Structure 1
Amino acid sequence: MSELRPPAPRRGTNLPKMGDFNLTVILDAIRRSTSGLSRVELAQIVGLSPQTISNISRRLLDQGLIVEAGKYGNGPGKPRTILRLNPAGMYAVGVHLDPAVTTCVLLDLVGNVVQQESFGTPDAGGPRAVVDSLAAAVTKLVSDSGVNAESIAGLGVSAPGPIDRDQGTVVDPPLLDGWNRVALRDAVAKATGMETILDKDVTGAAVAETWAGGDTGTGSFVFFYIGTGIGCSIVLEDEVVRGISGNAGEMGHIMVDPEGAECDCGLRGCVKVACIPPVMVAAAVAAGLVPDARQDESIGSGTCLQERFAALLDLADEGNDEALAIIDRSAVLISRAVSAITNVLDVERAVFGGPFWSRLAPYYLDRLPELVNTSSSTRDIHEIEIASSGVGEDVGAVGAACLVLEHVLAPKAQRLLLQN
């Protein structure tokens, strides 16, 4: 019988680290207020003393992260000064690596896209060609923006999973041949000269939602990323849950159709073989709705998939019954996975986004609320809201930039722990 080992002791904190944590708490409270907050309101919200609020506010003002944005007063007493984020106080670069198109954005502190660049992800040349193209695009992005490079906090890369966050590698992602254990984080850092963070695209999307999504990015929710595959990311009480290896949210092997096709895991009717966009396109090809391009290109590859998916949705928009049936079936099957996940986590909402979402949204938003809430174990207590991302089309790239802002500025309990 193996000897039981006690858990590793948690290390404590000290006053400087407590001060840094309080600074991020105050900054986060200001960020989440659409109209700004006074120092008095901050003290009420975060529970710190007026003196602490005053001292930290001065630090944030001196660092240029917040600004004083006028005064207000509705009664007797001195008008209160409103504090808001300074959009130009900090910037971050985000890169979304997709098998078809790589998108780069420059984001300001409040989550606005200042500059955007996109390029076709190179098919030839492997990871080296992609990194070189990425570095050139980032250099152009920063130059065209006119933003001082010293105000850019870093660069975030969101990539298809699975990933190894500790090593900064992507581990054999779908549709990126030859990308097994590619040290993408370090390669991008070397090529751009920027401190770089790597995370999964769906995780980045969830971070983007918490940072720039507005009402849909608050509280507890699950973000469902509709791309070539479907992944989800979990946000509980405003904090993204990543899992021990950074790969939480892999939902491809949730069974949604027991009579469906066999999956490589040995089960039948898993999400990845039942209802993702390539499966919908394959059904459309089989029905003769869209051309079969397999003679010269795989039905699931980047540009080919996007074109045929768009053609399928065009037919649905025109009222084609077969196209509508394919989309409706996918919505029913997806609702089963969404219900399973939201029942386990007891969240407020399911948020959908990603490159394939905008065309599916009218159909899924018409069907999913009833399907999910009918299967909800908490339907007699609260409804599960079904919503579109508040970030928009570039949620993957915006999420990558938000990874940097989150890393630098978001309040986390880990900030209080002393390092070894």
Structure 2
Amino acid sequence: MASSPIWASRPKTRGLVLDLIRAARTISRVELATATGLTGATISEVVRELMGDGLVVEVGRGAPTGGKPRTMVQLNPLARYSVGVQLERNTCVIVVVDLAGRQVARTSFQGAALSPPEQALSLVASQVEALLATAAVDRDKVLGIGLVSYGPQDRRAGVLLTPQPTEDWLDYPVARRLAESVGLPVVLDNDAAAAAIGEYWMGAVDPRSTYGCIYMATGIGGGVVVAGEVYRGSSSNSVEIGHISIDVHGEECPCGNVGCLENYAGPSALVRQAVATPGLAQRLALDPAGADFLTEFARIAAAANTGDAEARGLVEQSARYLGAAAVTMTSLFDVDTIVLAGPSFAVAGSIYQSVIQQEVDRRMFARRAHRVRVVPSVNGSDAAAIGGAVLVLQSELTLGNPRPEDARPVPAS
């Protein structure tokens, strides 16, 4: 495990300086002092410590400003790595990212969550090991694994609080078991929250902004980031927009609510609607008994993109429902941007982006105060997995959060 004195001295200051260097790409010590309000001597000492840890390197001189040219510094992307694992109902995606958040390796496979937890996590562990070996990443530089999945969750205990997709997963200690198998720290988090913070780390949003993320894979989730930190709520189960009620007389959802958005606008809902549309299921070769909703939804989206009127009508209806959810998000959190992330948006993003933007422009409470941009994720279909890896980087390197005892690596027996 990578070790450094990150927590030994001025952790918050070190984190602040490191995050500014990350966001700026290249920056001088003078600019760091101006941005932080710290003295030049303090900045020089912190940068010297970061360079000693290998996290930061000097990269030459800046443009002349009338005096002595300033020495520029930047992150050393190869200094640390982290792993992101997105565990979906149908698919598992694993990525390895460097300190800058750039993806250096990726793999995916199907069916993990439909297996018993021990079997599924054993497969995940073996795939993580194989991916690190293929990418020739030094394990001593790997900070840990961000395991992201759907909710509800007990993030501190590292367990899922849902019997989805099977009862075996309810209260199963997924984070601890994966940590034992791989010998690396594992943190559990919500896939939508992870996708949201990934945008910040990659520099796709203003670091001072408040922005939202709508995440759509098999289900629908949401996340809000305020000045670079995920809004957590009281139990880290916040912004579950897939389970806001859009019909108080609607059917009961397994979550306990009625008329949930996910049951009207999510991929599984669209597949059911397409199967019930005369001729459409046959035309798109949909499987009425299939459980792989992402694949079936992708067929509907592809048909919508190529001009199939019935398929496009279903996607646009879904987008209008999601537009209503986006308006709710803007009313509750006063965001300035909404990012659309996840594999389902990756295949039909242009339709969703256009319709959701129209709904927000027309219906947002604060529309006379400011406009809200609806944009696609820079991380595409892998946004949650990349975000999971980023959450590890952020926690370890910039927020000054020491690892909880139950997230420390377990020695291999």
Asked if Structure 1 and Structure 2 have the same fold, meaning a TM-score greater than 0.5 normalized by the shorter chain, the answer is yes
2:264 counterpart letter in structure 1: A
* Structure 1 residue 314 displacement after superposition: 2.3
Per-residue CA deviations over 1:308-342 (Å, capped at 9, x if unaligned) read: 21221122123122111111111111111110121
Deviates more, 1:71-80 or 1:277-286: 71-80
C-alpha RMSD over aligned residues: 2.1
For 1:39, the equivalent position in structure 2 comes to: 29
Per-residue CA deviations over 1:151-207 (Å, capped at 9, x if unaligned) read: 111111111211111211112253345211010011001000111111111121122
Per-residue CA deviations over 1:6-53 (Å, capped at 9, x if unaligned) read: xxxxxxxxxx8771211110001111113x110000000111000000
Q: Which runs of 5+ in 1 are unaligned?
A: 1-15, 416-420
**1:88-103 mapped onto 2 (5 Å cutoff):** 88-103=78-93
For 2:352, the equivalent position in structure 1 comes to: 364
For 2:72, the equivalent position in structure 1 comes to: 82
Residue 391 of structure 2 is aligned to residue 403 of structure 1:
yes
For 1:11, the equivalent position in structure 2 comes to: none
For residue 388 of structure 1, the aligned residue among 376, 379, 382 is: 376
Residue 16 of structure 2 is aligned to residue 25 of structure 1:
yes
1:187 counterpart letter in structure 2: R
Contact 2:329 2:335 in 1 (8 A): no
For 1:293, the equivalent position in structure 2 comes to: 287
For residue 194 of structure 2, the aligned residue among 201, 204, 213 is: 204
Contact 1:213 1:390 in 2 (8 A): no
Contact 1:235 1:241 in 2 (8 A): yes
Per-residue CA deviations over 1:261-288 (Å, capped at 9, x if unaligned) read: 5545786533022111111111111003
CA separation of 1:312/1:154 partners in 2, compared to 1, >3 Å: closer, same or farther?
same
**1:223-372 mapped onto 2 (5 Å cutoff):** 223-257=213-247, 261=251, 263=253, 269-288=259-278, 289-291=280-282, 293-295=287-289, 297=290, 301=291, 303=292, 305-372=293-360
* Structure 1 residue 147 displacement after superposition: 1.6
Contact 2:89 2:114 in 1 (8 A): no
For residue 158 of structure 1, the aligned residue among 148, 156, 172 is: 148
CA separation of 1:257/1:106 partners in 2, compared to 1, >3 Å: closer, same or farther?
same
Distance in 2 (alpha carbons) for counterparts of 1:266 and 1:173: 13
% same residue: 32
Distance in 2 (alpha carbons) for counterparts of 1:403 and 1:173: 25
* Structure 1 residue 231 displacement after superposition: 0.7
Deviates more, 1:331-340 or 1:185-194: 331-340
Contact 1:207 1:406 in 2 (8 A): no
Per-residue CA deviations over 1:365-395 (Å, capped at 9, x if unaligned) read: 2211121121111111100110111122211
Q: Which runs of 5+ in 2 are unaligned?
A: 1-6, 403-413
- Using structure 1 for the length normalisation, give the TM-score: 0.88
Per-residue CA deviations over 1:106-159 (Å, capped at 9, x if unaligned) read: 110001111112222336640011111011101111111112110111111111
Give the number of equivalent residue pairs.
Answer: 392
Distance in 2 (alpha carbons) for counterparts of 1:195 and 1:124: 24
Deviates more, 1:83-92 or 1:283-292: 283-292
**1:180-199 mapped onto 2 (5 Å cutoff):** 180-199=170-189
